[in-house]
Amino acid sequence: MLKCLIALVQDWQTILKNNLADKFNLLEKVTVLSLATLLDPRFKELRFCNQSNTQAAIERLTRECVSIIKQRVPAISAPEPTAVTGTSAQAPAEGSSAQAQDFSSHVDAQRQVTSAIASATMEVQRYCTVSVHADFLSTAMRR
């Protein structure tokens, strides 16, 4: 009788565990919920059920950060290219200078995009690795 009861409880435990894993695995794929889980300090120490869901949530958070950084940092406006005319009034050095400025502006714009991605990636990684202190959580819970 006792063996039958233990087997029944173990079966029920396995079924419950599998059902919860299936249910939460689906919830981890919802963008809003996964981002909220990553950003809420109370749940920061908890892990996702599936490692690929964790990585997908971190990538979504990084993309969100990149878009915010790009919105907040003013875009580098490239100067209008100067038209080179065939007249002798314009020396070839001036045309080269305009091309160099255009190239420099293009490089600066590319550097800004790369910096936004790099900055967002570094900030998200730093946030994910910083542990939450119990005193911070108790203070936050009192508010």
Q: In the chain, what are the domain boundaries?
A: 2-76+92-142
Interatomic CA distance for residues 122 and 109, integer angstroms = 20
Upper half-sphere CA count for residue 77 (Cβ side, 13 Å): 3
Write down the pLDDT at residue 82: 44
3-state secondary structure 55-113: HHHHHHHHHHHHHHHHHHCCCCCCCCCCCCCCCCCCCHHHHHHHHHHHHHHHHHHHHHH
Write down the pLDDT at residue 6: 92
Structure tokens at 79: 């100067």
Q: Contact, 128 vs 58, CB < 8 A?
A: yes
Consecutive 10-residue runs of the chain (143 residues): their mean pLDDT? Answer: 89 93 82 86 76 87 88 57 43 59 68 74 83 57 58
**C-alpha distances out from residue 134 to 35, 48, 126, 129, 143, Å:** 22, 21, 19, 16, 15
Write down the pLDDT at residue 99: 73
